[in-house]
Every structure is written in structure tokens, then in C-alpha cells.
Amino acid sequence: DTAVSQTPKYLVTQMGNDKSIKCEQNLGHDTMYWYKQDSKKFLKIMFSYNNKELIINETVPNRFSPKSPDKAHLNLHINSLELGDSAVYFCASSPWRDYYEQYFGPGTRLTVT
Amino acid sequence: LAKTTQPISMDSYEGQEVNITCSHNNIATNDYITWYQQFPSQGPRFIIQGYKTKVTNEVASLFIPADRKSSTLSLPRVSLSDTAVYYCLVGDPGHGSSNTGKLIFGQGTTLQVKP
């Protein structure tokens, strides 16, 4: 049983396209996150949702829009993709009180050509 | 905003104890310190968390001095399978109003364990 799953695992697309990455967790957590990891392994938080409410919204282009249809899902939509968006995107979840113990998904490697 | 600084890389040999230090001079009162481990092509995995003094679990120990401006992850008797990137995370999720929570990862320390 996969705790935090992401689809797709790999995503190759051209500049200017719009794409989505889906994330689902079956841990019963009420908080979910999106992180971006670049080629130098820097791991930066992008968004955090608690009970479908946006809690953390780091300085990311507004081309990125998270959507949380329910507590178990947090999807990431990216419009007008650019070369610099190429990275690995990780979804994570945690209980609100134990935010420090986050469970990460396997990552989605996005390549923009 | 608590920025963190870690060594970029460290080498060790099997059976040795490894200590990785993270500096976080601007840590806030509500911030906790957490360490994660990441293997290639996988998401980070929680190792240990603490607020002050010393915390120990089955895989590691975390030492935090009284001023909390740094923390040290200690891995006893490492093996080849401990070769990974280790991240120090300092933050507070924020409570109440939106956009007040900040979670900052360090740049990670690549630990290479040699036979």
C-alpha cells in the first residue's frame, strides 16, 4: 500500500504547454505539501494545504496553482511551462500537529523541452 | 526566517560514527528542527526531530545546544546503506492566518560511506 502516491512519475513536455501532477495520500493526514527539487538538490517548499486551506504559499510564479479537492488529494497545475520549471516535484503529507514528520511521495520528474 | 547551513559533503567508513552539523542562527522560538534522509530517485524520509537538548531514536541522535543556533545529527556505526543526502529542516507550519508558516530545508549534506 503506497502511503503517498504521485502521477505521473515522469513528465516530458514542451515549453508553453499546461500540465498537471496528481498527489494522493491514504494516511489520513490533514496537511499536504508540494516541494520542488532542482538539479543541485535544493529542496524548496512551494505550497502547503491544511484541510483544503492554503497555509504556505512561497514565492512561486502564478503559473503554478495547487488545487485540493479533498484532504487526501493535492494536485499541482502548471500553465505555460518554461525550461526553468524542469525539476523533480515532490508531494508530501503530515498530520497538522506533527508537521515535522512528513511523508513524501516518490517524486515526479518534469522535463520541459 | 531561519536559514540553514550544512556541509555540502562528508565521507566516512563503515562502522564509524558520523556527525553532521546544521547551523540555523535565526531560529525562531516556535521552530522545531528535523532531519531527513534522501536516497537517489526517492522522496526524503523522516529521521528525527527535536526542539532542544538531546533526542535519540533507533536510528540516530540529535544534539541541540541551549542557544539552538545549531544542531548535530549523529549516526552511530554507519553502513554502506547510509550513503544518502541528509537535510536539516527548521520551521514552523504557521497557525491561524494563511501564509505565515515557513519550512526551510538546508542544501543537504551528501554522505558517502566507504567500505
Cα–Cα separations (whole angstroms), residue A102 to A16, A33, A90, B35: 32, 9, 11, 11
pLDDT above 70 (res B102): no
pLDDT of residue B93: 56
Residues of A in contact with B45 (CB under 8 A): 104
The answer to whether the CB atoms of B46 and A57 lie below 8 A apart is: no
Q: Encode pLDDT of B44-100 as tens digits.
A: 999 999 999 899 999 999 999 999 999 999 999 999 999 999 999 887 655 444 444
The answer to whether the CB atoms of A101 and B49 lie below 8 A apart is: yes
Which of A21 and B31 is assigned the larger pLDDT? A21
Interface test with A, best of B5, B37, B46, B110 (most A CBs within 10 A): B46
Q: What is the pairing mode between strands A64-70 and A103-104? A: unpaired
Task: Name A54's Cβ contacts closer than 8 Å, sequence gap at least 6.
Answer: A47, A48, A66, B98, B99
pLDDT above 90 (res B107): no
The answer to whether the CB atoms of B41 and A103 lie below 8 A apart is: no
Shortest distance, CA A106 to any CA of chain B (angstroms): 5
pLDDT of residue B4: 86
Please report which confidence band the pLDDT of residue B103 belongs to, taking 50, 70 and 90 as the band edges.
low
In chain B, pLDDT over 70 holds for what percent of residues? 86
pLDDT of residue A96: 79
For chain A, which ranges sit under pLDDT 50? none
pLDDT of residue A1: 65
Contact between B81 and B88 under an 8 Å Cβ cutoff? The reply is: no
The answer to whether the CB atoms of B99 and A31 lie below 8 A apart is: no
Taking all residues of chain B, what is their mean pLDDT, rounded to a whole number? 88
How far does CA A35 lie from the centroid of its chain? Answer: 6
pLDDT of residue B49: 92
Q: How far apart are CA B45 and CA B70, in angstroms?
A: 21
Tell me if chain A has a CB within 8 Å of the CB of B87.
yes
Contacts A–B by Cβ distance under 8 A: 71
Shortest distance, CA B7 to any CA of chain A (angstroms): 13
Contact between A6 and A23 under an 8 Å Cβ cutoff? The reply is: yes
C-alpha cell recorded at residue B43: 522522496
The answer to whether the CB atoms of B108 and A102 lie below 8 A apart is: no
